[in-house]
Amino acid sequence: MTNVNFLVFDQFESLDLFGVVEIFGRLPDTYELNFYSMEGGLVKSSQNVEMMTQAIAHLTNEDILIVPGGAGTRALVNDKHWIEKLKQLSLVASNVLTIYTGSALLAETGLLNHKKATTNKRAFAWVKSTNSLVHWQKSARWVVTDKYYTSSGVSAGMDMALAFIAGQHGKDTAENIAFEIEYVWNDNPNNGPFAK
């Protein structure tokens, strides 16, 4: 059983999180889902969804770390303590997946320096301004570089999650999940329809 650890914060984007939760949650014999924040306790999304979280302490090198985006990232990129803790967690995790402006948080750690990454197209200029050493991909739906996965805005996290599942368990498994949830999977990482 692999731990999938979702790291949330106040004013995270609900679909960033719950779309990906739905996909990993379709493989309950493979993945155990955990919901964390840096300090633990109640966290509220931008859509006023409240959820109780555990305080994140450490991960193992078999754990997956998933970071959503949302309005809360605008303040967190300047929180040096939060970013340093994210860096340490990301260094240990087997894979790190970000959705939407979650890539800005990962970029702030320096772990995406000189690597390809992407983010939400409407927030692209702001995210790009957080770290000019990242090779930001404007037209991508999602990008995989080493163990780091970054995706475009909101629903793109679901496309990326299905791609991750396909990489781990085969495309048939990912397609079956998409069918079960009646989701039209954009399985082309270079097809970012909202980039224009």
Residue 132 belongs to some domain of the structure? yes
One DSSP character per residue, the chain reads -EEEEEE--TT--HHHHHHHHHHHTT-TTTEEEEEEESS-EEEE-TT--EEEEEEP----TT-EEEE--STTHHHHTT-HHHHHHHHHHHHHSSEEEE-TTHHHHHHHTTTTTTSEE---STTHHHHHHH-TTSEE-TT-SEEEETTEEEE-STTHHHHHHHHHHHHHH-HHHHHHHHHHTT------TT--TT--
Residue 185 belongs to some domain of the structure? no
Residue 188 belongs to some domain of the structure? no
pLDDT on residue 68: 98
pLDDT in tens, 8-48: 999 999 999 999 999 999 999 999 999 999 999 999 999 99
Residue 192 belongs to some domain of the structure? no
Pick the closest to residue 65 from 80, 44, 41, 85 (CA basis).
85
pLDDT at residue 192 greater than cutoff 90: no
Residue 16 belongs to some domain of the structure? yes
pLDDT at residue 196 greater than cutoff 80: no
pLDDT at residue 127 greater than cutoff 80: yes
pLDDT bucket at 145, cuts 50 / 70 / 90:
very high
Residue 191 belongs to some domain of the structure? no
Mean pLDDT of 152-160: 93
Give me the domain span that covers residue 48: 2-180
Q: Give the CATH number for residue 44.
A: 3.40.50.880
pLDDT at residue 81 greater than cutoff 90: yes
Mean pLDDT of 44-65: 96
pLDDT at residue 191 greater than cutoff 90: no
Pick the closest to residue 37 from 11, 2, 74 (CA basis).
11
pLDDT on residue 194: 84
Backbone angles phi, psi at 64, to 5 degrees: -100, 135
Average pLDDT for the chain: 96
Task: Tell me the one-letter amino acid at 187.
Answer: D
Higher per-residue confidence, 153 vs 60: 60
Q: Into how many domains does the chain fold?
A: 1
Q: Which residues contact 165 (CB under 8 A, 6 or more apart)?
A: 23, 24, 27, 173, 174, 177
Residue 19 belongs to some domain of the structure? yes
Residue 73 belongs to some domain of the structure? yes
pLDDT on residue 160: 98
